Chains A and B, each alone.
Chain A
């Protein structure tokens, strides 16, 4: 979660002063000083989101606008999901791939009335933007508007109830749709998306608007939650994190992202390689596993079966709700199947674990 920052001044989100005031522990993440946790602690923030409602500052995320007459065909070529299926008002989870099928980044693509809005990982903003620029045609306007947008995520079973007191927007909007609306009188974009597996809304707007909305929600008693709680919440749902579970050395098929990889659509970057991988079967698969004895798996730990190394942990944590160690890992076929017993090497011990069918937490408010 850390990266080397040389000569680049560390940035702050518009909500930085609020984090400091709330007593957050701030760490450098993707070039920003971000709240990893608040004084109540990671576990408390986790339960707040699973059981009630919590609020995250994720303003570090990157935003691009893509419009012009060639926007749709450009995005159809660059992203792996089917952009033609995306209607105005809808969002789509997708990815950018290299010609060899390796993942440049995962992203959310929004279709607005005047064009597209792409949200990418903070650590990849520059890389993604350059990648898109390299392939852009004359009839496409591409802008990196990351510095113009702040972003907060209101997540948890009570998120709709809370947010409805500040907006007239239809918060019964379906999952992965959005609406331009006023919240506390400020013009923002409300998206029914998130990274927690709970009912939730992500609110995009300028710094001024989001500072006001954040303060209103905090004053109303909504608890802030940091990146550490967010990491546990997403892991329990088997949501991939770029840099852990996916990167340029992994492809969407083995990462379990076949559901966003539309090989039946026209040409796109990575298609030939992904068709080949699909045809031959990937050598390994991203799986979910639960510890059978006490132990917390962490990124880089080896996975063994009868003293043979069969995989590597990409993400791991202790699930506060299950009170059990859980993780995501790449495991080589044919040892990747649900129910398979494996061991995780934790320092000098081999701790038994079992491959399970995700998600780890089955009952959530996601589709309330």
Chain B
């Protein structure tokens, strides 16, 4: 299981990377493994306002369906356009090609986020 050192994590098994006022969010390798083969992902529209911990989309996998929760309050800046045709890249490359959404104008409240080591302890 891959848990990159340079990302921050949530207890809902999402990763967050903050760069230049943009927060990129995806699900962790552990989460994709638990979900299994992903069939499609329903995502919000750019410009939508999102609340912290609110569902911003759903991941439909073969065996199950899971909500994606926004780790922060903010505004949808972009959704990953590749996921429409290739949702499986969340399985194959969850930390790069399989990113899910980008937020802007977010509240930079990262106190609840976990470090890679803390997240590792959570899932092992």
Tell me whether A and B are bound partners: yes
Task: State the CA gap A37–B58 with chains docked (Å).
Answer: 22
B22 located at the interface, meaning its Cβ lies under 8 Å from any Cβ of chain A in the complex: no
B60 located at the interface, meaning its Cβ lies under 8 Å from any Cβ of chain A in the complex: yes
* Given the contacts A318-B60, A347-B58, A296 and B37 also touching, CB distance less than 8 Å: no
B54 located at the interface, meaning its Cβ lies under 8 Å from any Cβ of chain A in the complex: no
CB contacts (< 8 Å) of A294 on chain B: these are: 40
CB contacts (< 8 Å) of B62 on chain A: these are: 42-43, 228, 232, 317-318
Task: State the CA gap A5–B49 with chains docked (Å).
Answer: 43
Task: State the CA gap A171–B58 with chains docked (Å).
Answer: 46
The residues in B between 26 and 50 inclusive whose CB is less than 8 angstroms from any CB of A are 36-37, 39-40
Binary contact track A294-334/B, C-beta < 8 Å → 1, others 0: 11101000000000000000000110000000000000000
Are B37 and A298 neighbours in the complex by a CB distance under 8 Å?
no
| Nearest B residue to A294, CB-CB | B40
Residue from the list B36, B40, B60, B65 in contact with A42, Cβ < 8 A: B36
A115 located at the interface, meaning its Cβ lies under 8 Å from any Cβ of chain B in the complex: no
Interface size on B (CB < 8 Å)? 10
The residues in A between 10 and 44 inclusive whose CB is less than 8 angstroms from any CB of B are 25, 36-37, 41-43
Are A42 and B39 neighbours in the complex by a CB distance under 8 Å?
no
Task: State the CA gap A356–B58 with chains docked (Å).
Answer: 27
The A contact surface, by secondary structure, is: mixed
Task: State the CA gap A352–B59 with chains docked (Å).
Answer: 20
CB contacts (< 8 Å) of B58 on chain A: these are: 347
Residue from the list A42, A295, A347 in contact with B37, Cβ < 8 A: A42
Are A318 and B36 neighbours in the complex by a CB distance under 8 Å?
no
Task: State the CA gap A43–B39 with chains docked (Å).
Answer: 10
Task: State the CA gap A25–B32 with chains docked (Å).
Answer: 13
Are B63 and A318 neighbours in the complex by a CB distance under 8 Å?
no
Binary contact track A213-243/B, C-beta < 8 Å → 1, others 0: 0000000000000001000100000000000
Are B39 and A318 neighbours in the complex by a CB distance under 8 Å?
yes
Most chain A CB inside 10 Å of its own CB: which residue of B58, B60, B65:
B60
CB contacts (< 8 Å) of A318 on chain B: these are: 39, 60, 62
Are B36 and A296 neighbours in the complex by a CB distance under 8 Å?
no
The residues in A between 142 and 158 inclusive whose CB is less than 8 angstroms from any CB of B are none
| Nearest B residue to A231, CB-CB | B63
Q: How far is the CB of B61 from chain A (nearest CB, A)?
A: 9
Binary contact track B81-92/A, C-beta < 8 Å → 1, others 0: 000000000010
Task: State the CA gap A37–B91 with chains docked (Å).
Answer: 15
Are B37 and A41 neighbours in the complex by a CB distance under 8 Å?
yes
CB contacts (< 8 Å) of A228 on chain B: these are: 36, 62-63
CB contacts (< 8 Å) of A25 on chain B: these are: 36
| Nearest B residue to A227, CB-CB | B63
Are A41 and B40 neighbours in the complex by a CB distance under 8 Å?
no
Chain B positions within 8 Å of A, measured between CB atoms, are 36-37, 39-40, 58, 60, 62-63, 65, 91
Q: A41-B36, A41-B91 are in contact. List 9 more A-B contacts (CB 8 A).
A: A25-B36, A36-B63, A41-B37, A232-B62, A296-B65, A317-B62, A318-B39, A318-B60, A318-B62
14 contacts between A and B (CB under 8 A): A37-B36, A41-B91, A42-B37, A42-B62, A42-B63, A43-B37, A228-B63, A232-B62, A296-B60, A296-B65, A298-B65, A317-B62, A318-B62, A347-B58
The 5 closest A-B pairs by CB, nearest first: A318-B39, A42-B62, A296-B60, A41-B37, A43-B37
